[in-house]
């Protein structure tokens, strides 16, 4: 083997070694940064996003150093990237938009890990936000991945942004029943529920009357982490409580009248002989 070929092999060996060392350094820096940010109480989404950025930057540096070792001039490499930058940017514009969207999500603090959010018609608990996607876990344990650009341009409803959440229970009673008594029964039922908090206090108000029915909304508050147990418990208890107090409850009904159509005309009013024509 000639000295030239041996030198080429050595250069490639060094390039591979440099790249592998870069991967090891990336792992070490990532672990250090993650531990430091977790210790400082940083948002898990920010920790995840920062570690992904570190991986990309360190790998890029290691790759450039390795290419330089095998004879690729970094300045030429950068020049080629610059010349082809417009074409590359056009090809990966969606990915760049997602990266920009991810940065905006982190900077604006729209939500944090484990928050229940609704984005673009999908609802779920936030699992992570990386450079490209925001991942949600639904109640059915499905995973929904939404591009960051869509998240950033959509209306985001964060159900866990505040410590307290409100629950509205709908109850319908006969219009002849005592409305004040019905409201008092509903409020007392809410006060007995261990999931319902005292402040803000439970309230009941008439929202609609008609058709022999009086519709009352019971509005109560609970701690956000107890929302679903509270929701099911108060909905299950409200109507039986009214009935136990001797109050006649009603369900919404709708009367539908079907008019008969004469045999001599179709639904458009045309006689059969004219339809045949």
Residues in Cβ contact with 134 at an 8 Å cutoff, skipping those fewer than 6 apart: 102, 105, 119, 126, 128, 145, 146, 147, 148, 151
Q: What is the DSSP string of 116-166?
A: EEEETTEEEEEEEE-SSEEEEE-TTS-EEEEEHHHHHHS-EEETTSSSEEE
The whole-angstrom distance between residue 38's C-alpha and the CA centroid of its chain comes to 23
CA distance readout (Å), 256 to 67, 211, 253, 259:
78, 14, 10, 10
Task: Give the model's pLDDT for residue 128.
Answer: 87
Task: Give the model's pLDDT for residue 259.
Answer: 60
Q: Would you tell me how many other CB atoms lie within 10 Å of the CB of residue 171?
A: 22
Strand partners, 135: 128, 145
Is the separation of the CB atoms in 160 and 115 below 8 Å? yes
* 3.60.15.10, 3.30.365.10, 3.30.70.100, 3.40.50.300: CATH of 162-277: 3.30.70.100
Angle between helices 74-83 and 44-69 (to 10 degrees): 120
Radius of gyration of the chain (CA): 33
Least-confidence region, from 11-20, 102-111, 257-266: 257-266
User: Which residues of the chain does CATH 2.30.30.60 include?
Assistant: 111-158
Task: Give the model's pLDDT for residue 277.
Answer: 47
Q: What are phi and psi of 261, to 5 degrees?
A: -105, 130
In percent, how much of the chain has pLDDT > 90?
40
User: Which residues of the chain does CATH 1.10.287.1260 include?
Assistant: 3-91
Mean pLDDT of 195-224: 93
Q: Would you tell me how many other CB atoms lie within 10 Å of the CB of residue 242?
A: 22
b/e map 81-94, b = 16+ CB within 10 Å? eeeeeeeeeeeeee
Query: Would you say residue 192 has pLDDT above 80?
Result: yes
What span, in angstroms and rounded, lies between the C-alpha atoms of 230 and 45?
A: 29
Task: Give the model's pLDDT for residue 157.
Answer: 93
What span, in angstroms and rounded, lies between the C-alpha atoms of 1 and 150?
A: 57
Who has greater pLDDT, 8 or 148?
148
Least-confidence region, from 39-48, 120-129, 234-243, 244-253: 39-48
Q: How far apart are the first and last CA of the chain?
A: 97
Task: Give the model's pLDDT for residue 49.
Answer: 76
Q: What is the pTM of this model?
A: 0.59
Specify the 3-state DSSP secondary structure of 217: strand
Encoding tokens for residue 263? 């045999």
pLDDT in tens, 16-72: 888 888 889 888 988 888 888 888 777 777 777 788 888 888 888 888 888 887 777
pLDDT in tens, 59-107: 888 888 888 877 777 666 566 556 555 555 555 567 778 878 888 888 8
Domain 3-91: assigned CATH number: 1.10.287.1260
C-alpha dihedral sign at 71, 72, 75, 79: positive
Query: Would you say residue 258 has pLDDT above 80?
Result: no
Encoding tokens for residue 185? 């029964």
The DSSP symbol for 268 reads T
Question: Tokens 């090809």 belong to which residue?
Answer: 91
Task: Give the model's pLDDT for residue 211.
Answer: 84
Query: Would you say residue 255 has pLDDT above 60?
Result: no
Architecture of the CATH domain 111-158: Roll (2.30)
In percent, how much of the chain has pLDDT > 70?
81
């Amino acid at each position: 083997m000639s000295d030239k070929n041996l030198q080429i092999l050595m250069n490639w060996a060094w390039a591979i070694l440099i790249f592998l060392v870069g991967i090891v350094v990336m792992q070490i820096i990532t672990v250090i940064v993650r531990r430091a940010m977790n210790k400082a109480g940083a948002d898990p989404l920010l920790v995840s996003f920062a570690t992904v950025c570190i991986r990309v930057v360190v790998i890029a540096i290691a790759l450039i150093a390795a290419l330089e070792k095998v004879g690729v001039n970094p300045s030429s490499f950068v020049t080629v990237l610059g010349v082809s930058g417009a074409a590359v940017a056009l090809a990966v514009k969606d990915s760049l938009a997602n990266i920009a969207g991810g940065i905006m999500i982190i900077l604006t603090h729209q939500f944090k890990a484990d928050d229940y959010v609704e984005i673009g018609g999908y609802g779920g608990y936030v699992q992570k936000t990386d450079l490209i996607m925001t991942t949600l876990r639904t109640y059915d344990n499905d995973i929904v991945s939404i591009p960051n650009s869509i998240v950033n341009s959509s209306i985001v409803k964060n159900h866990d942004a505040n410590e307290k959440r409100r629950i509205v229970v709908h109850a319908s009673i006969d219009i002849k029943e005592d409305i004040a008594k019905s409201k008092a029964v509903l409020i007392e039922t809410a006060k007995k529920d261990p999931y319902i908090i005292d402040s803000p206090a439970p309230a009941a108000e008439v929202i609609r009357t008609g058709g022999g029915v009086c519709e009352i909304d019971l509005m109560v508050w609970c701690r956000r982490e107890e929302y679903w147990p509270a929701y099911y418990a108060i909905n299950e208890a409200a109507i039986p409580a009214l009935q136990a107090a001797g109050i006649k409850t009603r369900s919404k009904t709708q009367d539908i009248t079907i008019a008969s159509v004469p045999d001599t005309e179709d639904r458009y009013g045309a006689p059969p002989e004219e339809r045949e024509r």
